[in-house]
Amino acid sequence: MSDSTVNPVKAGDVPILLAVLGRVEGEIRGGAHDAQAVRSLGERCLAAGLVADDVPLTSEGVADVLEGIGQRLRYALGEYGQDPTQPPQ
């Protein structure tokens, strides 16, 4: 996974992305998406390097990945002093 994007993301886009991520994460945790849709999203996460090869692509695992993405987006907005998904330095 790369450390940053090639071009910046507009700050106004990030809260919308956070809302979408939160909604989808909650729906996945609540069982609102079928297993194939969750697995497909999990495979995209795997291809992007957001999940290890040996982690099962379960609903809970995929929802956890989405939660991590949301935390990194909040860090990008400046809500945290350091990336909360990384060990303290």
Note whether residue 1 is domain-resident.
Answer: no
Categorize the per-residue pLDDT at 89 as very low, low, confident or very high, splitting at 50, 70 and 90. Answer: confident
Task: Report the alpha-carbon distance of residue 69 to residue 32 in Å, rounded.
Answer: 20
Percent over 90 (pLDDT), the chain: 75
Please give the tally of structural domains in the chain: 1
Task: Give helix 59-77 / helix 35-47 axis angle, nearest 10°.
Answer: 50
Residue 70: inside a domain: yes
In a domain, 39, yes or no: yes
Q: Is residue 50 part of a domain?
A: yes
Question: Over the stretch 15-55, which tens digit does the pLDDT of each residue have?
Answer: 999 999 999 999 999 999 999 999 999 999 999 999 888 88
Give pTM, 2 decimals: 0.88
Domain assignment of residue 89, yes or no? no
In a domain, 4, yes or no: no
The reply to whether 5 falls in a domain is: no
